[in-house]
A and B are shown apart, each in its own frame.
Chain A
Amino acid sequence: ETGVTQSPTHLIKTRGQQVTLRCSSQSGHNTVSWYQQALGQGPQFIFQYYREEENGRGNFPPRFSGLQFPNYSSELNVNALELDDSALYLCASSYLAEDTQYFGPGTRLTVL
């Protein structure tokens, strides 16, 4: 059984740029959730996708957007990057929206 994978591992961008992060869900899972984790803090919920539709959103501005594809993999897009966007971005997958979430290794984004 393949676990959750994320790419890239690390990314450095400058303020104002756009970035796309990718996630492949665990085999058999149709739900993907994205989280932002600042240093020393717990993960903060960005949004969730269930069967290619957005299924809930946290307190993040519209410049954070996402997609889920028919194979249940997902993308997180962030436009107009700000310095405060520097964080570990985590993807989690689950069989159903309400089930236990299993996390990937994360993408470390640094905005200069």
Chain B
Amino acid sequence: EDQVTQSPEALRLQEGESSSLNCSYTVSGLRGLFWYRQDPGKGPEFLFTLYSAGEEKEKERLKATLTKKESFLHITAPKPEDSATYLCAVQAEYNFNKFYFGSGTKLNVKP
């Protein structure tokens, strides 16, 4: 069964303290892995798409990487405005219209 697990569930950082969020997945043939940011009560905001192991994408303080079994979202020198829930989703080759989401990591960055 296709599964996505995100860890940790919650993460508290001081402003400037770098860290990584993990997304591990089990899917029969990965077509794509997606990272989204979600603020409370809002819809997810698209961040990155990764398609193959070894691929990396960067945007401001965020960098996403992908291996055959997991993805990491690295946050360098975070600011309080980076506080949000970060969601990971996978798309299978055989069922590409459906995104499987993890439960997210709730990030709180304190000034």
Contacts and interface: CB of A to CB of B under 8 A. Distances in A.
Interface of A: 4, 6, 31, 33, 35, 40-45, 48, 50, 55-56, 58, 88, 90, 97-98, 100-106, 108
Given A42-B102, A42-B104, A108-B41, A100 B97 contact: no
A88 B49 CA distance: 24
Contacts of A40: 103
Given A40-B103, A41-B103, A98-B31, A104 B43 contact: yes
B44 A105 contact: no
A22 to B, nearest CB: 14
Given A55-B97, A97-B96, A108-B41, 9 more contacts: A40-B103, A48-B97, A56-B95, A97-B97, A100-B32, A100-B46, A101-B34, A103-B36, A106-B41
- In the A-B complex, the 3 residue pairs with the smallest Cβ-Cβ separation, listed nearest first, are A42-B101, A103-B43, A98-B96
A48 B30 CA distance: 19
Contact of A48 (B87, B98, B103): B98
A106 B43 contact: yes
Nearest to B48: A100
Interface string B80-96: 00000001010100011
B interface SS class: strand
A97 B96 CA distance: 7
A105 B99 CA distance: 18
Contacts of B31: 98
B42 interface: yes
A45 B4 CA distance: 14
Contacts of A100: 32, 34, 46, 49
